[in-house]
């Protein structure tokens, strides 16, 4: 059911699954992150956290979410030679479909209704939020959120240590799938735990037994997350925190929950202006209606826990526009490193999906409706509400263009791909350069990530205009060996001027002219210091011929 729904609402993605993906530079970045893990696992010269971008920085994989769980699922496929774009789409859709399946399992345990559980899965898996973040791999991996609440329900019902340990495992898996969701899940499940303990008037298990199970959950989560979190703490100390102005930009407003993704067929054009980048969080009219049915008719302690969770998630998603988030930003571990409180919208969607399942079940009970008819009507409405077809897709290369195939055969050396962006117009083509490095794995001056290190920004400033002879000195001091000048992505006067600066320098050798996958690029090689010293003062008339 979920697969069929995904095919219909995202058409023509299924027809172009092996070659096309969302139109966003994060698709390149997703493929680089997964590719780096597959490469570092078997390459003796590679260190797992030291990605080949932003040379000479260390731990560059940690400048953004390393998403080890989704990446690990991609590794066997990449080793088997499956095309990287196909791998990307398989992992992306695995996040969406497994999230829907997990929601189904939780909702069925809450309501006892498989049909109501399907409704919950469709809401959690395919609402507008998903397509606002269609190219953000880690934000599709909300897989473990429903499983964590499923384990919490079992702790509440049975009070067993093994259920508490399962809760801890799911918390850790979510943290290692998406740091945003892991931190937010820890906060919201803590609220759910308190509510569960306070509102469970007909307690099935002694409080002491439940507390021991919850302590086991905290211990397991801490043990599993610490090795992954510790390197991030060191990196964050050097990179700093997110400024409050940046957090404000990506904080939701109440009107954000009336704004659908621009790709939404039914509501996109009408409601898109009500939200901004990352703040289009409309969950769908039917989800809200079914939640209202639940609140009006189903006042059980189990539903109350999800109502309180919904209120908390909504308030936190307001970020600096709310009451609680500013305090957490100042005092709670991890919150100051997160720039987009609006991503708590996934938890608003989660709680709405759970409550909508209650609402679906209530409708079936109260009005004695035929289950199949009711389900067909509700699922048909959701299909119309969530449809984004035709989805905006663009092709990505699965094979190495000649330029990067040549580079893969060369001795190891630092690469600078030009043009570099200026600091005020990042990222330029940096994400594409990072992905293309998966075909050769040479180290790069270039890079793309959630954070940009100071050394990289200084390099951008020093090489802002490759016109002066001093530019070659900057490149040499940076340790660059190969300079690639791309003509298709640069204004002709700038590209020609940069190429001429390099061409005229006697310490720079013209290697050749290559197809970079989009057009023509010229490769230059900077000679080592000894060779460069011998060539200084010689006329620059003897130059290598351009060769393909």
Bridge partners for 510 per DSSP = 524
pLDDT at 117: 97
Neighbours of 3 (CB within 10 A): 11
Of 93-97, 175-179, 304-308, 418-422, the one with minimum mean pLDDT is 418-422
The CA distance from 42 to 457, in Å, is 31
What is the DSSP code (8-state) at residue 512? E
The CA distance from 29 to 337, in Å, is 20
In the chain, how many H helices and how many E strands? 24, 6
Asked whether the beta carbons of 52 and 435 are under 8 A apart, the reply is no
Q: What is the DSSP string of 146-198?
A: HHHHHHHHHHHHH--HHHHHHHHHHHHHHHTT-HHHHHHHHHHHHHHHHHHHH
Cα 442-492-526 angle, rounded to 5 deg: 35
Per-residue confidence at 203, pLDDT binned at 50, 70, 90?
Answer: low
What is the DSSP code (8-state) at residue 423? G
pLDDT in tens, 376-390: 999 999 999 999 988
Roughly what angle, to the nearest 10 degrees, separates helices 179-199 and 345-366?
Answer: 50
Neighbours of 169 (CB within 10 A): 18
The CA distance from 175 to 142, in Å, is 10
pLDDT in tens, 507-531: 899 999 999 999 999 999 998 765 5
Asked whether the beta carbons of 401 and 517 are under 8 A apart, the reply is yes
End-to-end CA, the chain:
51
Per-residue confidence at 309, pLDDT binned at 50, 70, 90?
Answer: very high
63-91 average pLDDT score: 96
Residue 5 DSSP SS3? helix
pLDDT in tens, 121-161: 999 999 999 999 999 999 999 999 999 999 999 998 888 99
For residue 210 the two structure tokens come to: 């439940």
What is the DSSP code (8-state) at residue 87? H
pLDDT at 256: 94
Asked whether the beta carbons of 486 and 477 are under 8 A apart, the reply is no
Tracing tokens 């109350």 back to the chain, one arrives at 304
Per-residue confidence at 218, pLDDT binned at 50, 70, 90?
Answer: very high
For residue 505 the two structure tokens come to: 């320098």
The CA distance from 131 to 260, in Å, is 9
Highest mean pLDDT among 221-235, 430-444, 477-491: 430-444
For residue 428 the two structure tokens come to: 């330029």
pLDDT in tens, 448-495: 998 899 999 988 888 876 655 567 888 888 899 999 999 987 878 888
The CA distance from 65 to 456, in Å, is 19
Residue 244 pLDDT > 70, yes or no? yes
When the pLDDT of each residue in the chain is averaged and rounded to a whole number, the result is 90
The CA distance from 320 to 40, in Å, is 39
The CA distance from 29 to 32, in Å, is 5
* Residue 205 Cα distances to 170, 200, 300, 541, angstroms: 22, 10, 18, 87
pLDDT at 200: 67
Per-residue confidence at 539, pLDDT binned at 50, 70, 90?
Answer: very low
The CA distance from 435 to 29, in Å, is 6
The CA distance from 417 to 435, in Å, is 12
Residue 482 DSSP SS3? strand
Residues, the chain: 548
The CA distance from 125 to 415, in Å, is 41
Domain range annotation of the chain:
2-50+71-393, 402-535
Bridge partners for 512 per DSSP = 523
For residue 470 the two structure tokens come to: 């001093």
For residue 425 the two structure tokens come to: 């117009």
The CA distance from 269 to 263, in Å, is 8
For residue 42 the two structure tokens come to: 């078997």
pLDDT at 438: 97
- Strands 414-418 and 480-486 come out as parallel
Residue 540 pLDDT > 50, yes or no? no
């Amino acid at each position: 059911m979920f697969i069929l729904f995904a095919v219909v609402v995202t058409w023509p993605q299924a027809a172009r699954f092996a070659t096309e993906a969302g139109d966003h530079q994060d698709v390149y970045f997703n493929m680089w992150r997964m590719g780096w893990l597959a490469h570092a696992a078997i390459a003796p010269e590679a260190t797992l956290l030291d990605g080949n971008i932003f040379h000479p920085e260390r731990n560059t994989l940690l400048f953004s979410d390393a998403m080890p769980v989704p990446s690990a699922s991609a590794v066997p496929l990449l080793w088997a030679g499956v095309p990287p774009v196909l791998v990307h789409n398989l992992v992306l859709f695995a996040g969406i479909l497994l999230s829907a399946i997990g929601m189904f399992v939780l909702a069925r345990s809450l309501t006892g209704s498989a049909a109501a559980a399907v409704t919950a899965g469709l809401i959690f898996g395919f609402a507008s939020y998903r397509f606002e973040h269609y190219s953000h791999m880690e934000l599709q991996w909300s897989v473990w959120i429903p499983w964590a609440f499923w384990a919490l329900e079992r702790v509440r019902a049975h009070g067993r240590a093994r259920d508490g340990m399962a809760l801890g495992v799911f918390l850790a898996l979510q943290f290692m799938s998406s740091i945003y969701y892991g931190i937010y899940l820890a906060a919201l499940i803590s609220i759910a735990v308190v509510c569960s303990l306070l509102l469970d008037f007909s307690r099935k298990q002694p409080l002491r037994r439940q507390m021991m199970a919850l302590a086991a959950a905290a211990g397991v989560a801490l043990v599993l997350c610490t090795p992954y979190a510790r390197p991030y703490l060191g990196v964050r100390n050097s990179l700093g925190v997110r400024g409050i102005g940046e957090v404000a930009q990506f904080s939701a407003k109440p009107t954000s929950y009336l704004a659908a993704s621009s790709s939404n067929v039914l509501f996109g054009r009408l409601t898109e202006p009500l939200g901004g980048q990352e703040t289009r969080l409309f969950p769908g009219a039917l989800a809200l209606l079914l939640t209202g049915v639940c609140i009006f008719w189903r006042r059980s302690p189990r539903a109350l826990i999800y109502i309180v969770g919904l209120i908390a998630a909504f308030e936190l998603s307001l970020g600096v526009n709310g009451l609680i988030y500013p305090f957490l930003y100042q005092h709670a571990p991890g919150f100051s490193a997160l720039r987009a409180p609006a991503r708590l919208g996934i938890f608003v969607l989660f709680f709405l999906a759970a409550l909508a399942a209650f609402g679906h079940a209530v409708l079936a009970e109260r009005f004695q409706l035929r289950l199949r008819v009711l389900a067909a009507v509700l699922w048909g409405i959701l299909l119309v509400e969530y449809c984004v077809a035709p989805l905006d897709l663009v092709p990505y290369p699965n094979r190495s263009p000649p330029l990067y195939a040549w580079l893969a055969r060369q001795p190891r050396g630092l690469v600078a791909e030009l043009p570099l962006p200026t600091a005020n117009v990042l990222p330029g083509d940096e994400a594409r350069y990072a992905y293309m490095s998966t075909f050769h794995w040479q180290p790069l001056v270039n890079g793309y990530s959630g954070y940009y290190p100071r050394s990289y920004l200084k390099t951008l400033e020093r090489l802002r205009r490759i016109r002066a002879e001093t530019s070659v000195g900057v490149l040499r001091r940076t340790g660059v060996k190969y300079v690639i000048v791309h003509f298709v992505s640069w204004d002709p006067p700038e590209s020609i001027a940069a190429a001429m600066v390099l061409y005229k320098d006697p310490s720079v050798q013209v290697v050749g002219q290559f197809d970079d996958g989009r057009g023509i690029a010229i490769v230059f090689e900077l000679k080592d210091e000894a060779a460069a010293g011998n060539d200084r003062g010689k006329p620059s008339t003897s130059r290598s011929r351009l060769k393909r």
